[in-house]
Amino acid sequence: MPELPEVRVNSFKLNEAVTNKIIVDIKVWKPKLIQEINEEEFRNSLIGKQIKSVSNISKFLVFELSDDTYMLSHLRMTGQYLFWNTPPDFLEQHIHVIWYFSDGSQLQYKDYRAFGTFHIRNKSNLLSTKPLSLIAKEPQEIDPNDFFKLTKKSSKAIKTFLLDQSKIAGLGNIYANEVLWACKIHPSKLASEISLKNVKDILKFAAQIMDESTKLGGSTIDSYSSLNKQEGNYQNFLQVHLRDKKECRRCNTIIKKFSLNGRSSYYCPKEQKL
C-alpha cells in the first residue's frame, strides 16, 4: 500500500499535470469505489469544475476544485493514475474511472484490486467529517510530549501503535519497520514502555526517512508506481524492510522476519532487543 512518501509524490505529479484542467465528463466503471454518494451524484459534483490544485493529507490525495469542492482519493493497495494529453485508442485493463478535460486530455484511475476510494467534500466539512477527521498530524508536526502521553495509554506493540493513522499520519508497514530499525527499538516492544527519548527519536527519524523517500520518488515494491507508472528509487536504500536473512547494515547480524498482527516485521536481533 502506498504510504506517505508515495502519496506525496503522486500529489506533486498530479498537481503538475491537471491543475487548471476543466472537467467536462466522467465515466465510472466501478461505482463501488465511490463512497457515501452514488455515481450520478459523483459526476454532478465534479463536471464543469476546474481543478485548482492537488495536494495530500496523510495518505489521501486531495483534489481542490472550483466552488469549494474537494475530491479525496485513497489509493489503497494498487491504485494509480494515468494522465494523457493525447489519449490512446485503447484502455488498459482495470481502468475504473476517467475524467475528461476540456482540452481533450484525460486522467484515468487504474486499480487492479479495486480497493481504492473516492469521497466528495466541500470546504466546510473537508476536515470535520470522516475520513480526514480521523487523521492525526504528520511526524514533524507532532509535539513529543503529547505523543509520549498517547503511548503511555496504549496496550499495543509500538509498531502496531505507529500504524494507527489516528495517532500519527503517514506510516505504513515499510516505514514503520525502517523507523524502528533506525531507533533500535524492537517492533513488539509495548508502546507504553518506550521512553520520551524513544518518542523523540521516532518522530525525528519518521520525518527524516519519509522526506528522503519522497525525494527519491518513494519505494516501488510490488505494484507501486506514481503517475504514468513512474517508479521510485527508495527501495534501493531500505535498511531493514524485506532484508530478512541478510546482514544488518550497522552490525552485520542477520536480519530476522516475523509476523506482528498480520504484518511482516523485520528487525536486527542484536540492536533491537525486547
Q: What per-residue confidence (pLDDT) applies to 223?
A: 75
Task: Convert the pLDDT of each residue in 126-137 to its tens digit.
Answer: 999 999 999 999
Q: What percent of the chain has pLDDT over 70?
A: 100
Condensed to tens digits (0 to 9), the pLDDT of residues 171-201 reads 999 999 999 999 999 999 999 999 999 999 9
Q: Is the pLDDT of residue 224 over 90?
A: no
For residue 225, the model assigns a pLDDT of: 84
Q: Which residues of the chain does CATH 1.10.8.50 include?
A: 139-267
Given a contact cutoff of 8 angstroms between Cβ atoms, the answer to whether 19 and 101 are in contact is: no
Cell of 128: 470535520
Average pLDDT of the chain to the nearest whole number: 97
**Residue range(s) occupied by CATH 3.20.190.10 in the chain:** 4-134
Q: Looking at per-residue confidence, does 225 or 176 come out higher?
A: 176
List residues bridging with 254 in a β-sheet. 247
Q: Which CATH architecture has domain 4-134?
A: Alpha-Beta Barrel (3.20)
Residue-level pLDDT at 183:
99
Least confident of 30-39, 81-90, 214-223: 214-223
- CATH class held by domain 139-267: mainly alpha
Which pLDDT band holds residue 1 (cuts at 50, 70, 90)?
Answer: confident
- Active site positions, annotated: 2-3, 59, 263
- Provide the pLDDT for residue 215: 98
Task: Quickly state the pLDDT bin for 222 (edges 50, 70, 90).
Answer: confident
Check residue 161 and give its pLDDT: 99
For the stretch 5-62, pLDDT in tens is 999 999 999 999 999 999 999 999 999 999 999 999 999 999 999 999 999 999 999 9
- Note the pLDDT of residue 153: 98
Segment 112-121, tens digit of pLDDT: 999 999 999 9
